C-alpha cells in the first residue's frame, strides 16, 4: 500500500486526539469542538455522504460524494473524468501535486424550537477535515479503498458482491485524504431563550430526528432462492 510522508499534524501512534490547528479551531462556540479519535471516527462512520470542497479556476466547488474510512484515512471515489480526480492527478513529467480540499460530514439530530426566532437552532454532529487529497494509484490500496467504500454503506457487502474487474477499475479513480487536520463539533440540548422571553405563549423544545431503514425491496429480476443475507436483516 502506498504511504504518504507524515506531517507535523499527524497523530503519534499513542495519541488519542488530533492536534488542533488554526483551521480546525472554531471561531464560535469553541466549547462544542472536540479532537479525540473516538468522536471523529464515530461521526464519520455513521454518515453515508460527505461534501468535498475545492477550488477550480479560482471559484469554490462543493460536491456530495460517498466515502469510506480505513484507520486515519478517508477515501472518496468517482469517474476518472470527474473534476477533483482530474485535478489531483499528476502528469508523467511531474510528481503528484495533490488537491487541497475541505471535506465535511454532518448529522442533524434534532430541530431546536425556541420562543424567539433568533434562538431557533438544530442539534447536530459534524466533522471538518482539511488537507491535500492524492489520487490512489497502487492497485492493492485501490481495491482496499473500494471495498471500504462499499462496506461503509452496508458492512459486509464487499465480500458479498462481485469485485470490480479490470475495465471497471480503469474507469474508477480514488482519492486518499489523511485525517491529520480534523475536528468534530456538536450541539445538544434544548433552546437557549433569553430570560425575558420565558413567559411568552410559544411552545419551545426539541423535535428529535433519527435515521432508520424501511423494509427491503428486492430487485425485480432477483434469481429464485436467494435469501436476504444476515448483514441486511441486521439493519
Name the DSSP class of 17: B
Q: Is residue 172 domain-resident?
A: yes
Q: Is residue 4 domain-resident?
A: no
Amino acid 124: pLDDT:
97
Please, what are the averages of pLDDT over each run of 10 residues along the chain (235 residues)? 35 68 87 92 96 93 95 86 62 66 97 98 97 92 95 95 90 93 96 96 97 92 93 85
* Residues in a beta bridge with 60: 55
Amino acid 1: pLDDT:
31
Amino acid 86: pLDDT:
62
Q: Which domain holds residue 105?
A: 30-233
Q: Is residue 75 domain-resident?
A: yes
Amino acid 29: pLDDT:
84
Q: Is residue 21 domain-resident?
A: no
Q: Is residue 165 domain-resident?
A: yes
Amino acid 9: pLDDT:
39
Q: 60: which 3 cell numbers? A: 469554490
Positive or negative torsion for Cα 1, 98, 25, 129: negative
Amino acid 92: pLDDT:
40
Q: 8: which 3 cell numbers? A: 507535523
Q: Are 190 and 206 in contact (CB under 8 A)?
A: yes
Amino acid 30: pLDDT:
83
Q: Is residue 168 domain-resident?
A: yes
Q: 85: which 3 cell numbers? A: 480526480
Amino acid 11: pLDDT:
43
Rounded to 5 degrees, φ, ψ at 51 are -115, 125
Amino acid 82: pLDDT:
64
Q: Is residue 2 domain-resident?
A: no
Amino acid 6: pLDDT:
33
Amino acid 210: pLDDT:
92
Q: Measuring CA to CA, which residue among 74, 193, 180 is closest to residue 134? A: 74
Amino acid 176: pLDDT:
96
What CATH number is attached to the domain comprising 219?
A: 2.30.110.10
Q: Is residue 141 domain-resident?
A: yes
Amino acid 78: pLDDT:
73
Structural domain count, the chain? 1
Amino acid at each position: 500500500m502506498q504511504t504518504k510522508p507524515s506531517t507535523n499534524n499527524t497523530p503519534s501512534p499513542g495519541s488519542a486526539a488530533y492536534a488542533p490547528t488554526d483551521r480546525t479551531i472554531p471561531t464560535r462556540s469553541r466549547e462544542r469542538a472536540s479532537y479525540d479519535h473516538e468522536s471523529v471516527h464515530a461521526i464519520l462512520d455513521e454518515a453515508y455522504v460527505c461534501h468535498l470542497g475545492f477550488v477550480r479556476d479560482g471559484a469554490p466547488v462543493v460536491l456530495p460524494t460517498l466515502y469510506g474510512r480505513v484507520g486515519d484515512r478517508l477515501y472518496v471515489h468517482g469517474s476518472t473524468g470527474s473534476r477533483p480526480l482530474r485535478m489531483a492527478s499528476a502528469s508523467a513529467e511531474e510528481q503528484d501535486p495533490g488537491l487541497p480540499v475541505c471535506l465535511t460530514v454532518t448529522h442533524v439530530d434534532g430541530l431546536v424550537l425556541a420562543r424567539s426566532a433568533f434562538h431557533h437552532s438544530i442539534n447536530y454532529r459534524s466533522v471538518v477535515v482539511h488537507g491535500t487529497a492524492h489520487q490512489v494509484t497502487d492497485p492493492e490500496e485501490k481495491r482496499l479503498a473500494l471495498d471500504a467504500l462499499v462496506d461503509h454503506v452496508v458492512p459486509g457487502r464487499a465480500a458479498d458482491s462481485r469485485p470490480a474487474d479490470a475495465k471497471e477499475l480503469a474507469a474508477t479513480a480514488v482519492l486518499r485524504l489523511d485525517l491529520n487536520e480534523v475536528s468534530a463539533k456538536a450541539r445538544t440540548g434544548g433552546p437557549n431563550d433569553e430570560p425575558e422571553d420565558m413567559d411568552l405563549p410559544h411552545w419551545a423544545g426539541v423535535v428529535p430526528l433519527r435515521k432508520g431503514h424501511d423494509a427491503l425491496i428486492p430487485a425485480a429480476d432477483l434469481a429464485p432462492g436467494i435469501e436476504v443475507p444476515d448483514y441486511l436483516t441486521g439493519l
